[in-house]
A = this chain, B = another copy of it.
Amino acid sequence: MPDHRSARAQRLRDAGYKLTNARLTILDVLETHGGHMTSAEVLEKVEARAPEVGRASVFRALDLFTRLSIIRPTYINDSSTPTYVLMPGGHHHHIICTNCDRVIEFEDCHLEKLERELERQFRVRLTGHLLEFYGLCATCIANHDADK
């Protein structure tokens, strides 16, 4: 299995950034949690594990990790606050229910071919992608139909 944890720290290092206690703690919090985390949740977990790490460093690290395509902020529910998703292998895919905000993750996206096409067409070098579908989940479809 791929060791994403050391791989991501390595990525920081390769890009010329220091492996500080703050960054490694924040990265570990994200990796331990695994899924979707709001900045508030990250702040809370970091505070619990390493009280000496300041709020500002958390936001600075989240920005940095975003620039490095390690995570990606997205809007899940009532906007205004981003939810960060880890992007192992540079990509992530999910379905968001626009009624109850449930998130369903899925694996396959078959976007490799499109990715290569885009790189050629626009002369870009792509490092990751996020694919979000919106709609109603099974539960909300049932409730909706029951309303009739």
Contacts and interface: CB of A to CB of B under 8 A. Distances in A.
Count identical subunits in the complex. 2
Interface string A111-138: 1001100110111111111111111111
A15 to B, nearest CB: 11
6 contacts: A95-B126, A106-B121, A109-B114, A124-B137, A124-B141, A127-B134
Interface stretch (A2-10, A17-25, A41-49, A69-77): A69-77
9 interchain residue pairs of minimum CB distance: A126-B135, A123-B138, A129-B133, A73-B75, A125-B136, A128-B134, A127-B135, A130-B132, A131-B131
Interface of A: 62-63, 66-69, 72-75, 78-80, 82, 90, 95, 97-99, 104, 106, 108-111, 114-115, 118-119, 121-138, 141
Contact of A124 (B69, B74, B129, B138): B138
Contact of A78 (B63, B104, B133, B138): B63
* Chain A interface helix/strand/loop/mixed: mixed
A78 B108 CA distance: 29
Contact of A122 (B75, B119, B137): B137
Given A124-B135, A133-B126, A114 B110 contact: yes
Contact of A67 (B98, B122, B126, B130): B98
